[in-house]
Amino acid sequence: MAQTQLNQIVALEKGVKSRAQADFVAAGQQLQKTALLAGISRTYKPKDDEGEQLPPESTRVQVRARDVLGDVQQALTRLFDVILTKDVANTVAKAPIVVDGNTIATDVPVTYLLFLEKQLADLLTFVTRIPVLDAAETWTFDEATDAYATTASQTTRSKKVPRNHVKAAATDKHPAQVEMYFEDVLVGYWTTVKFSGALPQARISELKQRVVKLSEAVKLARESANSTVVTDQKIGDRVFNYLFA
């Protein structure tokens, strides 16, 4: 049997599949045109020698079901062979995932590498969207609250207290003229500590770098697995020799 690389089979698959599908659909459409499968031959003979002579009539069969079956077999045989070759290859195409010289996993199937590659792309998007701690504040991790906390800041609290202002003193003829106003009086202090479940920018950058490194390692592993040399499988002829025999 001929041998090829898995990545070559994968590259061929799409084209083979689309051509086979088109030919298969065309074959089905041919069989639906029943008029093309029908033929006829008619000859005319007058009842006596004096009668009118008419030419023979005939219509040839243009489509034969057995020929269409042959076309279907030819269209699908290559597809069956390519898909089986790919699926068999996927059971043996494996590679290790290595990041910075450290082996994360060994003998990882190429199908799983494809899955992992997609998941890591989604994880990178996820990590990129993690909220970042406000850079305008100074944060430290607080074990008691299991969150990041700022240093305490103090602000004052004031209260408006009514006061009376005598504009004019009382006389024996007029009462005193008094105007009320409010005065802000310091009554206490607020001590504020802000908490956050977000992450420092440095931590998010580290996570992104790790995801990117692993993604690159997975892509390299996939390339390695896809270069696995596999034996071309032949099943199409056996299938159709049974089906259309």
- Average confidence (pLDDT) over 205-231: 93
Confidence of residue 102 (pLDDT cuts 50, 70, 90): very high
Q: What is residue 62's predicted lDDT score, i.e. its pLDDT?
A: 86
Of 89, 113, 93, the residue nearest 13 (C-alpha): 89
DSSP-assigned beta bridge partners for residue 161: 183
Confirm whether 82 is domain-assigned.
yes
**Number of other residues whose CB lies within 10 A of the CB of residue 89:** 24
Specify whether 157 is located in the same domain as 245: no
Give percent of the chain above pLDDT 70: 99
Specify whether 61 is located in the same domain as 37: yes
In the chain, the number of structural domains is: 3
**Confidence check: pLDDT of 138 > 90:** yes
Confidence of residue 3 (pLDDT cuts 50, 70, 90): low
Q: What is the pLDDT of residues 45-81, one digit of tens each?
A: 988 888 888 899 888 888 888 888 998 998 899 999 9
Confirm whether 146 is domain-assigned.
no
**Number of other residues whose CB lies within 10 A of the CB of residue 35:** 8
Q: What is residue 231's predicted lDDT score, i.e. its pLDDT?
A: 83
Confidence of residue 123 (pLDDT cuts 50, 70, 90): very high
Residue 214 per-residue DSSP state: H
Specify whether 79 is located in the same domain as 161: no
Q: What is the pTM of this model?
A: 0.66
**Which residue range is the domain that position 47 belongs to?**
1-93+228-245
Confirm whether 204 is domain-assigned.
yes
- Concatenating the DSSP letter of every residue in 115-175 gives HHHHHHHHHHHHHHTS-B--TTS-EEEETTTTEEEEPPEEEEEEEEEEEEEEEE---SSS-
Q: What is the pLDDT of residues 153-192, one digit of tens each?
A: 999 999 999 888 877 777 877 887 878 888 999 999 999 9
Alpha carbons 244 and 195: distance in angstroms, whole number: 75
Half-sphere CA count of 18, side-chain side, radius 13 A:
4
**Confidence check: pLDDT of 1 > 70:** no
Q: Which residue has the higher pLDDT, 130 or 175?
A: 130
